[in-house]
Chains A and B, each alone.
Chain A
Amino acid sequence: MQAGGSQIEMMEPLARAYEHSVPEHPIDGGLFGPGSMVWRVHRDRSFPLAAIRSLMVQALHPLAMAGVAQHSTWQRDPFGRLAATAGYVLTVTYGDTVAAERAAARVRAVHTHVRGTDPVTGLAYRAEDPELLLWVHAGMVDSIAEIVQRYGRSLDAAGADRYVAEMARFAEILGVPASRLPTSVAALRDYLEAVELRQLTPAASEAIAVVLDPPGLDAPTRELWHDLGQVAVGTLPGWARSMYGFDAPPAESMEREPVRQLIGALDFAFESLPGVLEARERIALRTRA
């Protein structure tokens, strides 16, 4: 059909990830269980925003960024790469224990091959390094907690802390020792700000430029995406925003209502893709049972 038809295709890998990650006949409740805060938070519709913010925070560690830049095909297929990550998060969350552990084992196996030297700092890195894994984990968990608290379904401070604590398990299965994992929002932020090696490398600039302005969008979709990116920038911690050199967006564009409308419009399109609504219903029914 017209351009309108092609835009939605970019979300299709994401929809398939959703569909396949939420099993119809799970053997058990998985690593967290239907009553967990993780289940509640990870079905939130503000997730695309949390994803953009996560990537922006995670990219500011030169070694984490180098690993992605040197070993991933994301630049050729940014939406496919995003879908793969989302599929992993969703499988570990909603899949049964076997599926979650299998997914984690696959990621660990891939990580064994991801090693090299960062051209900017000259430091060697390996993806199995618990410190790098912790950074990536913290960037994600902090972003999800922040975004869902601001723009998602009601999540109070205690709920956010519980979420962070529950998510420790998420990092443990990839090889981060439990003792290193923050169990509250405050501890998570303290950790992020204490990491010495934080800087904007050319690889990160390049990556984030693509995240904020993905290729191949038509003009109106691009504007919608830019709006979303601007909100993500507005939610970054101060240190991260200054590293990128972004100004704080105007306060009115950060208000809950218009941002929720923006998220809702995107989610309307996303939910219309085959499998998404059904997957969400499976989650809802299990949470209520």
Chain B
Amino acid sequence: MKNIVKTVLAAASTLVLAAGCIQESFPAGSTATANQVAAAPGSFDKFVDAITSTLVGQFVYAPTSTNAYDFGLPAFFIRWDSMGNDLVQPALTNGWFNSWYCIDHLGPTWANSQYAWTFYYSWIKACNNVISLAGEDPEADKVVGAGIARFYRAYFYMDLAQMFATKPCYVDASVETVPLVVETTTVEQLADNPRATNAEIFAQIITDLDLAEAYLAGYNRSDVYTPDVSCVYGLKARAYLLMGEWKKAQEYAKKAQAGYTIMDEDAYTNWETGFNTPNDSWMLGVTYKSDDPNIQKNDGDSSWGSWMCMEINPKTSGCGYAASYGRPIYIDRHLYETVPATDFRKKCFVDFAIDEMDADDAIDALGAYSNHGDWLYNNAQGTDFQTVGGMNLKFRTAGGEAGRDNQYIGFVVAVPMMRVEEMYLIEAEAAGRQNEAEGIALLTAFAKTRDADYVYGKHTDAYYNTASGTFINEVWWQRRIEFWGEGLATKDVKRLQKGVIRSYAGTNHVTKYRYNVDHTPDWMNLCIVQTETNYNFSCTNNPEPVAPSGDSDLYVW
């Protein structure tokens, strides 16, 4: 009897606890498995949103760090444009973007060469996901999503093509750009995926844009943070300009202008809404949101506003790389000085003459740029220049005085990606390349909206490439000043095969980095990160750039 009790007791406890235990485990939090995503309600639309939701605001490169330059697409505007002469980086402390200004650590073994890859290819992956889900012939409820994905895939590849190709497409269609990964590319194919040529990648871009044009026809967007068909026209205008198809570039630039208005002086130089809020000239943009990780983490310092907005109250906030940590970005002094006093765009940058004044007068004079001249002046003392001349006040904090007192409000800004002004200048350039007189007329008409006293032919700096001629140099100059800080500068240097001039009498560039190069510098051909070339055995690379050993001899204009 006792044995039975014992056996039953032992067996019962064993069986109760042993019965079929192992369970499948699912994540519950900020990660979801493919099955969970597929099962989520409205998952296709969520995939579409994923294309634009990480363009800004998120720490895409290192989600667990809060690196100060990990703030999405606009960070590339600063990175890339720092490689030329128009943006001056005080290359002292807090030098998150120094590598691109100083030209160091840009080789394939450095993380600096990984940013473009990590960001752009993860964005491209998001586009490929949507294109793949939408299929060859998208159903009605997937047409717009497919159009957005096609548009952005073209946008991303065009950026990459311009930055990695050694020559622009219209000059040499056979040079290599980057490996092309589309929705049908398998992981196995990636191991043997050579860089597409300019011709190949632009063919893909046009194919995508043709489809986007069809898919987005009739789509009414609610804001400029999602592309509509006018953006497709705009991107096509850019593409054809790069491809040398001037007629089409002119045609699409003209089509893109419909429904938009060129900014006037008040909009362009507004102390409250200057380049932080979309207006009638913005065709496409991105915006930070108040609850983005870029804003809420690291004191909001890992954001566009932190690097581009000067007006932050040192007492109540004291944050911002530009406003507080000695890292304002300045305009090149020569570029500034070529802007006539009558051109309202000059008001976006502090007059170099103020540095000749004593402190009190300087602070008074800075009142012409800001209600807080003392902040600008004191902050400048912490830069390596200890000067205010050339300081950028184009990009303003958002939210009025409350935003200046609290960067969590002030840095919640929008950033333009495409403005109608560019379409007027593309139209002018493309027209001029076919018929210079027509181009000059269009250019002059545009320029007069900035400077009523504009006279054609005064802005002819060739930056070593004299072959491009006065007209192109005039258009280029307009683009340099009109889009300063908006990410077009280095792409234009490459497109127009210009050199770089940082060393000249009176330059405000940082000593040791006053490089003059009489052709498009090699460093503007970005290196492909080794995490690609190590495993993609058909992928070649651009040479690792070598910076000049110090200041170049002064250039005489």
A is bound by B: no
Chain B contacts to A: CB under 8 angstroms: none
